[in-house]
Each structure stands twice: as structure tokens, then as C-alpha cells.
Amino acid sequence: MEQMTAVADAAASRVAHLRSRVEQVQGRRLGTAVVPVHPALAPLLPGGGLRAGSAYTIGPSTSLLLALLARPSQDGSWCAAVGMPELGVEAASQLGVDLSRLVLIPDPGERWLAVTAAVADVLPVVATRPQGRVGEGEASRLAARLRDRGTVLLVQGVWPQAEAALSIAEPAWSGLGAGHGYLTERTLTVTVDSRRSPVPRRARLVLPDLSGGVRSAGPARAAADAPTLRAVG
């Protein structure tokens, strides 16, 4: 009788362990885990962060990309940037990226997609710039790997089946006086179009601010001593 009870207990233990593993995998695949981002960016993203196992597209703003990498790297997550040779480590550091947690692969070559997929297998946050058009089939295969690993993919460019698209508009620099001074801060509008939200989310941010970081734009102030220079084109 005792032997039968021991066998039953062992079986129940194995079933409980299996159920736990299945729930973990299902939860990961459903995207329930969220990778935190800077507080100024969190309200723009459904769930308040980057959904693990998902891909996001970002417009041609390296500052916004680095701002998204900052919090995960600070929290101990390894991040990678693939195919971005001009990405500067000084700018990354100023925006809060922990350089000890950043892997740079500036020139992945023609097999950039395979390199991106390989890196996504081992690192939790990967940024990449497509070197060519990505088909639906290729995106679907990589999406399955992202879900399996719980990896976040940040794409600077076009990407099929993206969780959300982040873009910037209305950039305005400040700091120049009447023929003197330096550009110090840039205020811009960040918009997030997500398939999980029918209405785009927008916020006015300062990126970079005086310290080189990011913050929410405060109320409008008289700028007699700090004229604004609007970007053209």
C-alpha cells in the first residue's frame, strides 16, 4: 500500500511539474511577460512595456531605439544591435544603455537575417536594421523563434507582422540664441500604432534632454532665452 502511495505521489509530482512548464510556455507564447521601458515611454505601449516574443518597428530614429534599449540593459538583460555600424557607444551610454550589456554586430553581411535569428536565440532584446526586404514566410519563422525564446525584436525599418510601430514627428531643437549657443534639447512627438489598440497613442517627449537622456515634455514655457529651431524636411 505504501509503495502504491509513493508511486502515486511521484506521478502527481511529475504531472504538477509538467503543468507548470506548460503554463510557463503558454504564458510566454501569449506574450504575458513584459520587458520594462523608460517611464516616459511606458504609457505609449500597450501593457506598459515591450511584450516578450514580439517584434516592433521603429522609424529612422537611433535616439528612440537607444531609449528603448536603456531600461532592459539597466535591469540586467543583454541587448544586441545588428547591422547598425553608425551606432555610437557614447550616445548609447548617455541615453542610459548599460554598455556592459550591449553586443554590437555592425556588419552582419548578406546573411543578416540568419545572424539576427541566431542572436535572438540567446539574447532577450535584439535590435536590427534590415539589409533587404523580408518576406511573410521569413518573418513568420523568426516570429516563432521569438515567441519560443521570449525575445523582443526592435526593427529599424519595415517588418511584417509587427506588434506595434513607433514613429517620431515634429522635432524641434532648442538652445540656439541670436547667432550663438548650441543645440541642447530636442522635443518631438512619439506615436505608437499597435494592433492591440484601435487608437494610436501619442506623447510629446524631450529626446535627448540636457543630460542626453529622455523625459516627458513639460508644460510650454516662454523661451525668450532659449529659442527653438525647428527641423526642416
User: Are 75 and 104 within one domain?
Assistant: yes
Q: Is residue 226 part of a domain?
A: yes
Q: How many domains does the chain have?
A: 2
- The pLDDT tens digits of the residues spanning 45-64 come to 989 999 999 999 999 889 99
pLDDT tens per residue, range 104-125: 999 999 999 999 999 999 999 9
User: Strands 181-194 and 79-82: what pairing?
Assistant: unpaired
- Residues 210, 225 within the same domain: yes
Among candidates 73, 127, 64, which has minimal Cα distance to 100? Answer: 73
Residues linked to residue 204 through DSSP beta bridges, in sequence order: 189
pLDDT of 218 strictly over 60: no
Does 153 map to a domain?
Answer: yes
Same domain, residue pair 83 and 93? yes
For residues 152 and 39, membership in a common domain is answered with yes
Which of residues 133, 148, 164 is at a domain's end? 164
Considering the domain architecture, whether residues 100 and 132 belong to the same structural domain is answered as yes
- In which domain, by residue range, is 41 found? 33-164
Alpha-carbon distance 166 to 27, whole Å? 25
Distance of CA 140 to the CA centre of its chain: 19
